[in-house]
Amino acid sequence: MQPDVSHQGCQCEGEKQVVAKSFRITAHFDLKDFDTLNIKLTRAIDQGVHRVALKHEGVWKKNARRDTGSLADSIHVDQGTSSANYTVKDNVRNPEDNFPYGPAQELGTGVYAETFDKVPVPRPPIEAKGWGMAFEWKGEQVFAQTVQGTPASHAARDALTTVMPQIPTIMAGVINAMNAAAAGA
């Protein structure tokens, strides 16, 4: 695609243009150019969104609570069914009741429960089933009939708010890489 730029009624002194009365720009396009451009733009958008998802994954893993490390180790990016569709999620469940562990850590439990926007939604203390709860706390074996719950960590939310301002820079990097590849082709 080469534009043909011509001008009429232009008075020039050396290389300096003094007055221009009109311009005419003619561009010739081959429809194949649009197909190629569409493919390249779709690929660039997909790469950019994937990079944003990977960045979110990395920050969330870094900020996740670390008792055993199983939550942080399970955080990963899944590609959806269409281009530029990625989900960052965890895949840990409490072995006792199969309850998803990530949301409990993210939003808190019991009297500490909150919404994603950090609005408190306290629930009653967690009661033991059967004989009670036994767990290790700071190296000591503890037995209890109730626990207050777990405070919210908001690690996933905080990771997202960290990554959001970086999206323009990430996308610009993808576009620059695409332009550099096109210039070298």
Structure tokens at 134: 């036994």
- Confidence band of 13 (pLDDT split at 50, 70, 90): very low
Q: What is the pLDDT of residues 55-74, one digit of tens each?
A: 999 999 999 988 778 889 99
With contact defined as beta carbons under 8 Å apart, do 105 and 70 qualify?
no
Q: What is the pLDDT of residues 152-165, one digit of tens each?
A: 999 999 999 999 99
Q: What is the pLDDT of residue 54?
A: 95
DSSP tag of 120: B
pTM higher than 0.85: no
- Confidence band of 50 (pLDDT split at 50, 70, 90): very high
Nearest to residue 170, comparing CAs of 83, 60, 87, 46?
46
